[in-house]
């Protein structure tokens, strides 16, 4: 018998789900009482761990004062303004402003619209092409779906956005050739600095730097989708800082609240600001009902304070080093094909005879939750409060299951 809840990214007829009922730190419990280490941060987002009472208290206090109110002209609220000030203080883009929305998917669609709008305001409406990369994941709204480099996620939805194209994920010459052939029509290049949901693929050496140069050369904007890599996951606030490349627009979500409330946003750099702010009579006709939601912003402020107070950027580096060492050793021992990743996001590339879904499902009753990507990859993105002992258990359980023990 089907259930009233239609689950995301699942077979509509499936009924046997693992029902999570409690979380604390890096630990989860299901409705059967099984304790598990959350080695994927729920869905790449739980930086500060589960069950943080200070975030719950901050949200509750804000709701008792003012749950929220629209930030459409002429209104604002002080919590959204304070969050914007905090976000700008840690920004990877100098002199940026922040647009707030409700998710990573909304953030990507916003960045794509702002990129095209920037060129319209600058007198170049012909610049409509947005280039993304194979293997890229950019959410499931129409813009992000159009920009995805994951063909299976596009099936069945009919015609998607025009002038959104994908190039090879690793070969910079593919991007360079397309930009040369279409130079006057390109609005932006959209890149995950570290590709996440497409399989955890770090950039090939020099790719991001070259993409920045190509955008400058052809008058295009560079958009970083940091929905997964932002807010400490790379050992810096953003992957842009980790890799030393500055985009014009930067999308964020997930780790900004550690999932305690849904929030996304876009950092807007000088190139975009200049076009949008040049005409004092220009009116930005874009936004969402919950842009700048006060209670959500309160969660974000409390979350960012925890990340700073507990030194979780530094902890991400230590977690990443431990995951890298463990997975690399498994590859050297022939348990898996290879390890790949960066920061505190890592993946095991499996052998042809192994299956990531089978491995994931076998790990759950042994007390570890990881993510299966396609059938050839298991991914690890644990909360940044995960202990060394917990990381070691994750690796031990994965090794045992992957070895068929």
Express each pLDDT in 307-322 by its tens digit: 999 999 999 999 999 9
Q: Is residue 7 part of a domain?
A: no
245-275 burial by CB neighbour count: b if 16+ within 10 A, else e?
A: bbbbbbbbbbbbbbbbbbbbbbbbbebbbeb
- Return the pLDDT at 93: 98
Residue 399's pLDDT band (cuts 50, 70, 90): very high
Are 42 and 191 part of one and the same domain? no
Cis bond before residue 74 (omega within 30° of 0):
yes
Q: Reduced to 3 states, what is the DSSP secondary structure of residue 383?
A: coil
pTM score > 0.85 for this model? yes
Residue 389's pLDDT band (cuts 50, 70, 90): very high
User: Domain end: 309, 338, 355, which one?
Assistant: 309
Are 391 and 340 part of one and the same domain? yes
User: How many other CB atoms are there within 10 angstroms of residue 356's CB atom?
Assistant: 22
Q: What is the 3-state secondary structure (H, E, C) of 238-285?
A: CHHHHHCCCCCEEEECHHHCCCCCCCEEEEECHHHHHHHHCCCCCCCC
Mean per-residue pLDDT for 74-99?
Answer: 98
Residue whose token pair is 């170049």: 124
Q: Is residue 9 part of a domain?
A: no
- Return the pLDDT at 83: 98
Mean per-residue pLDDT for 3-15?
Answer: 94
Are 196 and 271 part of one and the same domain? yes
Are 231 and 92 part of one and the same domain? yes
pLDDT digits (tens, 9 = 90+) for 160-176: 999 999 999 999 999 99
Residue 223's pLDDT band (cuts 50, 70, 90): very high
DSSP letters along 148-162, please? -S-GGGGTTS-S--T
Are 234 and 323 part of one and the same domain? no
Inter-axis angle of helices 207-218 and 172-181, to 10 degrees? 10
The span from the CA of 159 to the CA of 45, in Å, is 31
Residue 13's pLDDT band (cuts 50, 70, 90): very high
DSSP structure class, residue 384: T
pLDDT digits (tens, 9 = 90+) for 237-248: 999 999 999 999
358-391 burial by CB neighbour count: b if 16+ within 10 A, else e?
A: ebbebbbeebbbbbbbeebbbbbbbbbbbeeebb
Q: Is residue 273 part of a domain?
A: yes
Are 163 and 63 part of one and the same domain? yes
The span from the CA of 88 to the CA of 312, in Å, is 19
From 399, 390, 386, select the one nearest 47 (Cα to Cα).
Answer: 386
β partners of residue 225: 251
Q: Is residue 14 part of a domain?
A: no
384 φ, ψ (degrees, to nearest 5): -80, 5
Q: What is the CATH number of the domain that holds 335?
A: 3.90.1150.10
Are 169 and 255 part of one and the same domain? yes
β partners of residue 370: none
52 φ, ψ (degrees, to nearest 5): -80, 110
Please give the residue range of the domain that contains residue 336.
Answer: 20-51+311-402
Query: Does 405 score more than 90 pLDDT?
Result: no
pLDDT digits (tens, 9 = 90+) for 37-54: 999 999 999 999 999 999
- Return the pLDDT at 1: 73
Mean per-residue pLDDT for 128-146?
Answer: 97
- Return the pLDDT at 213: 98
Residue 3's pLDDT band (cuts 50, 70, 90): confident
Are 123 and 224 part of one and the same domain? yes
User: Domain end: 259, 293, 309, which one?
Assistant: 309
Q: Is residue 15 part of a domain?
A: no
Q: Are 107 and 265 in contact (CB under 8 A)?
A: yes
Q: Is residue 116 part of a domain?
A: yes
Are 41 and 128 part of one and the same domain? no
Q: What is the CATH number of the domain that holds 170?
A: 3.40.640.10
The span from the CA of 290 to the CA of 305, in Å, is 22
Are 47 and 66 part of one and the same domain? no
Q: Is residue 348 part of a domain?
A: yes
User: Domain end: 280, 309, 338, which one?
Assistant: 309
How many structural domains does the chain have? 2
Are 262 and 376 part of one and the same domain? no
The span from the CA of 380 to the CA of 26, in Å, is 13
Residue 274's pLDDT band (cuts 50, 70, 90): very high
Q: Is residue 4 part of a domain?
A: no
237 φ, ψ (degrees, to nearest 5): -60, -40
Are 338 and 298 part of one and the same domain? no
Q: Are 22 and 28 in contact (CB under 8 A)?
A: yes
């Amino acid at each position: 018998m089907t259930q009233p809840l239609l689950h995301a990214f699942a077979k509509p007829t499936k009924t046997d789900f693992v029902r999570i009922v409690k979380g604390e730190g890096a630990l989860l419990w299901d409705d059967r009482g099984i304790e598990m280490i959350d080695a994927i941060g729920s869905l790449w987002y739980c930086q500060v761990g589960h069950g943080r009472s200070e975030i719950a208290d901050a949200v509750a206090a804000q709701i008792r004062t003012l749950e929220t109110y629209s930030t459409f002209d002429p209104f604002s609220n002080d919590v959204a303004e304070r969050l914007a000030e905090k976000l700008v203080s840690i920004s990877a883009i100098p002199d940026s402003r922040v647009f707030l929305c409700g998710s990573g998917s909304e953030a990507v669609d916003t960045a794509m619209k702002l990129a095209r709008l920037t060129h319209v305001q600058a007198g170049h409406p012909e610049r409509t092409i947005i280039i993304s990369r194979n293997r890229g994941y950019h959410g499931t709204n129409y813009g992000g779906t159009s920009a995805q480099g994951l063909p299976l996620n596009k099936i069945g939805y009919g015609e998607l956005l025009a002038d959104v194209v994908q190039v090879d994920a690793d070969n910079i010459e593919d991007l360079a050739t397309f930009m040369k052939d279409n130079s006057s029509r390109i609005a932006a290049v959209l890149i995950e600095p570290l590709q996440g949901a497409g399989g955890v693929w770090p950039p090939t050496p020099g790719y991001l730097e070259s993409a920045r140069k190509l955008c400058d050369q052809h008058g295009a904007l560079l958009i970083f989708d940091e929905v997964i890599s932002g807010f400490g996951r790379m050992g810096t606030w953003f992957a842009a800082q980790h890799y030393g490349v500055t985009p014009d627009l930067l999308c964020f979500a997930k780790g900004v609240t550690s999932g305690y409330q849904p929030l996304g946003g876009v950092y807007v750099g000088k190139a975009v600001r200049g076009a949008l702010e040049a005409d004092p009579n220009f009116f930005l006709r874009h936004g969402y009902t919950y842009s700048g939601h006060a209670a959500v912003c309160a969660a974000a402020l409390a979350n960012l304070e925890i990340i700073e107070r507990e030194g979780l950027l530094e902890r991400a580096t230590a977690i990443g080093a431990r995951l890298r060492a463990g997975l690399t050793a498994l590859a050297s021992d022939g348990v898996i094909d290879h390890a790949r990743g960066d920061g505190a996001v890592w993946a095991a590339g499996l052998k042809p005879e192994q299956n990531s879904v089978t491995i994931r499902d076998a790990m759950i009753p042994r007390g570890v939750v990881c993510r299966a990507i396609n059938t050839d990859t298991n991914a690890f993105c644990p909360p940044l409060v995960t202990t060394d002992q917990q990381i070691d258990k994750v690796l031990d359980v994965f090794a045992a299951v992957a070895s068929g023990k």
